[in-house]
Amino acid sequence: MKTAVLSLGTNLGNRSENLKTAIHYIVSEVGRVVRESSVIETESWGFDSFPFLNQALVVETGLTPEELLGSTQKIERKMGRTEKSSTNSDTGLPVYSDRIIDIDILLYGNEIVNSPDITVPHPKICEREFVLRPLAELFGDEVVAPFEVSFASMLEKPNHYGYTL
């Protein structure tokens, strides 16, 4: 079994129910949830829209990173998400949109995965307060590999800490 950390976000419909439904599917299709952060409300990131509810989960799973990605995307589709973020063809920058649910794989054990389909740790962890706040709650001052500082330290100086694969 591996320990994976997932980030959940929703800004459409009954956001609280969306998180509960996603967790139900994660338990039935991914593995056992061993820890949950508090649910926080944050402004949309990367586009102007409705506020998000965000939460992080620590999950024990027997799935590989690729299988985990497939399962989380299946859950998103099952809940009504029709498209993932896209890229602006002129600027090459991501184009974000509203979503009933977004499930990102933040960590997979202490492994580094860099394939065409999946990058773990999630490359934008250090930039996103809505990810860092739940991670700081779950891990406190613990330094989680491959990072060299805690998520709490990263939260104090967003965008200051980064990592490369």
Whose tokens are 């985990």? That residue is 68
Give the whole-angstrom CA distance, residue 87 versus residue 111: 27
Distances (CA, A) of 155 to 69, 138, 151: 26, 13, 6
- Say which of 102, 128, 133, 141 is annotated catalytic: 102
Give the whole-angstrom CA distance, residue 119 versus residue 128: 16
Q: Is 141 a catalytic residue?
A: no
Whose tokens are 């389909």? That residue is 117
- Say which of 15, 104, 128, 133 is annotated catalytic: 104
- Say which of 81, 98, 128, 141 is annotated catalytic: 81
Q: Is 35 a catalytic residue?
A: no
Contact 31, 23 (CB under 8 A): no
* Catalytic residue numbers, as ranges: 81, 99, 102, 104
